[in-house]
Chain A
Amino acid sequence: MTTKPEITIDHIGKDYGQITALGDVSFNIEPGEFLALVGMSGGGKSTLLRMIAGLETPTRGQVLFNHETREDSAVVIRVMFQEDRLLPWMTVLDNLSFKSHDAQQQAEAKKLLHLVDLDEYAQQFPNQLSGGQKQRVALARALMSHPQVLLLDEPLGALDALTRRKMQDLILHICEQQQLTTILVTHDVNEAARMADRIVVMKHETNYAEFNGPTDRHDAGQVGLVAEDVLDAILHDKVES
């Protein structure tokens, strides 16, 4: 089984009728890498993520996992969206297992709820939770059945600063521990600089520039410098990298 897939994005593009959501994007993601995608809103980041997840077929190009297409590969890919997308008619626990009666799934769901520190909320309904708690449930759900690839589409965008910071740390911890290959879409350059090993700037419907993350993500100065560079690349057309 592939534990740590390398993802190859090979000249991928998507048109919606006359609109080009994504022109021509190519880059690689190393096994176990944490990559951030940043760019102006409407730049095609979500479209790219949905094509990687197999939720949308590309107009051109392809995505490969260890040199295999998604259909041929046994890779498990999970997406976490900005909205929690929890099912309001199921309890928290059932949202993870999709009401499966399988004992193993139930056990896994409980284990993951423990991981995101929501054991006591297993039997609550989503409407009874706070925004941050709901996103933690969504994160736990995304970790069901041992994914190798985690795609995060601005999952923290709606959270307050404090909850957001806590979630960032939780996600980093989990991705490191489970050695997930992760792509995080965010409009927050600081978040990108703080979390990612590498940052790809999306602009003009393509991957426009690339930056390495700080060598020490706990060094606020370093994080700030990387964030400045990324912001520059998004806002101005001249870039040296």
Chain B
Amino acid sequence: MQKTVALSPALPPKPKTRSFSFKGFLPFLIPVLVVAIWQLSSSLGWLSTNILPSPWAVLQDGVKLTQSGELPKNMSISLYRATLGLVIGGGLGFVLGFVNGMSNTARLLFDSSIQMVRNVPHLALIPLIIIWLGINESAKISLVAIGTMFPVYINTFNGIRNVDPDLIEMGQSYNLSKRELFQKIIFPAALPQVLVGVRYALGVMWTTLIVAETISANSGIGYMSTNAEDFVDMETVILCIVIYAILGKISDLVAKSFETLFLDWQTLGRSSK
């Protein structure tokens, strides 16, 4: 509300502000409602705690595990695996997409092979990777890397291939060097598509990690969940699911903020930077 005061007084008061705050709340309506009904059902005894513990119990469990240090420890190890896997896989995917997008020779050499490998679900590689690498860190990190590589590859490749040839011709007519052509025209033109790939890769990253940690790990959120399952510790199982949901949402927000940061020219905010 204070912001409205800061605006130029010449502007007429806009009735929009009211509907805006309502709109801002709208996305949260369903989650809040679900949690409220869930809590109510638990409190009234409609929902057996053996099947689903109450949100309050899950929250208490979360606080307990945070205080004991177990949750922060497992969360940071999961985050570490996810990030490192994404950086390696995404980096590889970008470089391959870049090389194949820019060079016809490279495309002919690599692309069809990559497309073939891409059709193997990467989770099917889990047994192989466990045999090769055991259940240590590199196994989980490489799985995430393999999973995230393809979406970044495909989107970088297509992004570069689909750059408007008119713009490239324009650059050539101004005698831009190959390097300048890439820096000033091809890369910025492909960037929106690359970021679509990154966003998709973030989703793959969490799914892969959950599965990998559930099957073979002695740390991480996925491990916490499997471990809790052995002890029929429902609160922790649900807690892990909620944490995954939150982590997924956070990574989506990070991806979106990349978009607003790098693609501001698309949304055309105010002229000043």
Are the C-beta atoms of B271 and A98 separated by less than 8 Å? no
Are the C-beta atoms of A127 and B265 separated by less than 8 Å? yes
- How far does the Cβ of B195 sit from chain A's closest Cβ, in whole Å? 13
- How far does the Cβ of B21 sit from chain A's closest Cβ, in whole Å? 29
Give the segment of B4-12, B125-133, B163-171 that binds chain A: B163-171
The listed residue (B169, B173, B265) touching A88 by CB distance below 8 A is: B265
Are the C-beta atoms of B173 and A55 separated by less than 8 Å? yes
Give the segment of A28-36, A60-68, A76-84, A204-212 that binds chain B: A76-84
Is B185 positioned at the interface, with any CB of A under 8 Å from its CB?
yes
Encoded as 1 (CB less than 8 Å from any B CB) or 0, chain A from 70 to 114 comes to: 000000011101010101111000000011000000000000000
The listed residue (A83, A87, A124) touching B185 by CB distance below 8 A is: A87
Are the C-beta atoms of B173 and A128 separated by less than 8 Å? no
Q: Count the A residues whose beta carbon is within 8 Å of the partner chain — how many?
A: 20
Encoded as 1 (CB less than 8 Å from any A CB) or 0, chain B from 153 to 192 comes to: 0000000000000110110111010001000110011010
Residues from chain B with a CB closer than 8 A to the CB of A144 are 174
Is B108 positioned at the interface, with any CB of A under 8 Å from its CB?
no
Are the C-beta atoms of A53 and B188 separated by less than 8 Å? no
Q: Count the B residues whose beta carbon is within 8 Å of the partner chain — how many?
A: 21
Is B2 positioned at the interface, with any CB of A under 8 Å from its CB?
no
CA distance A55 to B263 in the complex (A): 30
Is B19 positioned at the interface, with any CB of A under 8 Å from its CB?
no
Is A123 positioned at the interface, with any CB of B under 8 Å from its CB?
yes
- How far does the Cβ of A68 sit from chain B's closest Cβ, in whole Å? 17
The listed residue (B172, B188, B191, B268) touching A125 by CB distance below 8 A is: B268
Is B112 positioned at the interface, with any CB of A under 8 Å from its CB?
no
Is B272 positioned at the interface, with any CB of A under 8 Å from its CB?
yes
CA distance A98 to B172 in the complex (A): 12
| Best-buried of B166, B174, B272 by chain A (most CB within 10 Å) | B174
Decide if the interface of chain A is mainly helix, strand, loop or mixed.
Answer: loop
Are the C-beta atoms of B184 and A87 separated by less than 8 Å? yes
Are the C-beta atoms of B167 and A85 separated by less than 8 Å? yes
Residues from chain B with a CB closer than 8 A to the CB of A81 are 166, 170
Name the CB-closest residue of A to B272.
A123
The listed residue (B166, B271, B272) touching A85 by CB distance below 8 A is: B166
Are the C-beta atoms of B166 and A128 separated by less than 8 Å? no
CA distance A127 to B173 in the complex (A): 22
CA distance A99 to B167 in the complex (A): 16
CA distance A13 to B168 in the complex (A): 24
- How far does the Cβ of A55 sit from chain B's closest Cβ, in whole Å? 6
CA distance A141 to B9 in the complex (A): 39
Q: Given the known inter-chain contacts A85-B166, A85-B167, A87-B188, please indicate yes or no for A123 contacting B173, CB distance below 8 A.
A: no
Are the C-beta atoms of A98 and B166 separated by less than 8 Å? no
Are the C-beta atoms of B265 and A98 separated by less than 8 Å? no
The listed residue (B173, B189, B263, B265) touching A53 by CB distance below 8 A is: B173
Between-chain CB contacts (< 8 Å), 18 pairs: A53-B173, A55-B172, A79-B170, A81-B166, A81-B170, A85-B166, A87-B167, A88-B266, A89-B189, A90-B265, A98-B174, A98-B180, A98-B184, A123-B271, A124-B271, A125-B271, A127-B265, A127-B268
- Given A81-B170, A90-B184, A144-B174: 14 more A-B contacts, CB < 8 Å: A55-B172, A78-B173, A78-B174, A79-B173, A81-B166, A85-B167, A87-B185, A89-B189, A98-B176, A99-B184, A123-B271, A124-B271, A127-B265, A128-B268
Residues of A within 8 A of B (CB): 53, 55, 77-79, 81, 83, 85, 87-90, 98-99, 123-125, 127-128, 144
